[in-house]
Amino acid sequence: MNRHYFRLSWRKGFTLAELLVASVVMLVVVLGTLAIYIRSHRIAVDQQRIAELQHDVRTAMFFVSRDVRSAGVGLIPEVSGYFLEGYDSFSPGDEAADSIKVMGNFDNPLALRIRQYQGGHGGGAATAFLYDWELQNAPYECPDFYENRVVLILFTTCPGCFAFRYLSHNSVHGCDEGAEHVNMQPGQSELNPPGGLVDTGCGADCWDDAIMTFGQIKQYWLDTTGSPGDYPSISSLDAEHGYLGIPNTLYLTTIGEQGGIVHYALAQNIESIQFQYNGDFDNNGLLDGFTDWIDSWTIQPGDDDAARQSKSQIISSISQVRIWVLGRTAEKMTSVSGSPPNNIYLYRRPPIANSPGASSDDMRRRVLLDSTVTIRNLALNLYNLGTR
């Protein structure tokens, strides 16, 4: 009988050295994959920040350029010196951000005819009696819609006569019955128009048959510090009126529908905003080139008639406004390696207008938009008077 013997064969296992080598290879693969993921994540985060920054800068430019282009809409050329008012280096800090205030009948067309005007001498209280059915025929709720607003009274008989007045609470009468009239008490609104609440000092008879319209006021300004105490000329900087207290936030300050001042936060991550103005200031028929706002152009409430007229002529000569909006990412870029060249301003604040640039990089990405707008009411003959 044949016997068969089976011999078991034992396979060799991995040695300790082989296990260590395999572990190292696996660790290198895992770390390499993790490094690629981290790198991709950093790039994705930076791209998201840049996308948000571009959105903020474009939003800011859209609103500012739209309203600057429409400064003075619905108003007459005789008050073109009050269509806008600039503020050079309005915000504190090295950025020296500018501000601009514009006025116009932007949203709510109004033309109430005044039958008789009484009082108002020296800026005192005045009463304007309207023609019958003026308030009833207007498409607005009376009296709530008219109160707590700045109105502009425009002449029809005396050249150069106009007045900014403020309609306070309980100042509009005759909505349902009785004589239609408005009482205008002396004082100031929370947001004054360019030049302040002024009166050209014309006689009371000049206001008979005058037109009353809305002078809506909008001021664009940049909060670079987040501290309301740095902006004493802006009233009601608190959360109740829309103020956020976040640095590098662009605001639109105006009078809201309820008659109170309101601050709309339009865009964040705005590092600087600059304005320059171009016009025929020497009356030679040619534009003189862009320049920063000069403080001596600003019409002050205490100016006499000659000073107001001189400043008004300068401001009415402005036909173009150049706007720069500079944005900056809130955080430093994490996907940048090495040092960027010194002759580019991707990661440092560039010089704009009369705002100085930074001398070193802070690794925060910048986006700069530059636009030149033509003020329609100052450059075009919208009123068919044949003068422009």
CB atoms within 10 A of CB 183: 16
pLDDT, mean of residues 129-145 = 88
Place of tokens 């048959």: 209
Nearest CA to 33 among 21, 43, 25?
A: 25
Which of 113-122, 123-132, 367-376 bottoms out in mean pLDDT, i.e. has the lowest?
Answer: 113-122
| Greater pLDDT, 290 or 117 | 290
Look up residue 107 and give its amino acid.
Answer: D
Name every residue whose Cβ is closer than 8 Å to that of residue 148 and which is 6 or more positions away in sequence.
Answer: 167, 168, 169, 255, 258, 259, 260
Tens digits of residue pLDDT in 43-69: 777 788 889 999 999 999 999 999 999
Name every residue whose Cβ is closer than 8 Å to that of residue 221 and which is 6 or more positions away in sequence.
Answer: 87, 90, 91, 97, 99, 231, 234, 250, 251, 253
| Greater pLDDT, 237 or 155 | 237
Q: Give the strand order in the sheet containing 162-167.
A: 162-167, 149-154, 211-214, 112-119, 126-130, 181-184, 172-173
Tens digits of residue pLDDT in 292-304: 999 999 988 788 8
Strand-pairing partners, residue 130, are 114
DSSP letter string, 246-265:
-SSEEEEEEE-TTSSEEEEE
Residue 79 has pLDDT above 90, yes or no: no
Tens digits of residue pLDDT in 165-204: 888 888 899 988 778 999 887 656 678 888 877 666 677 6
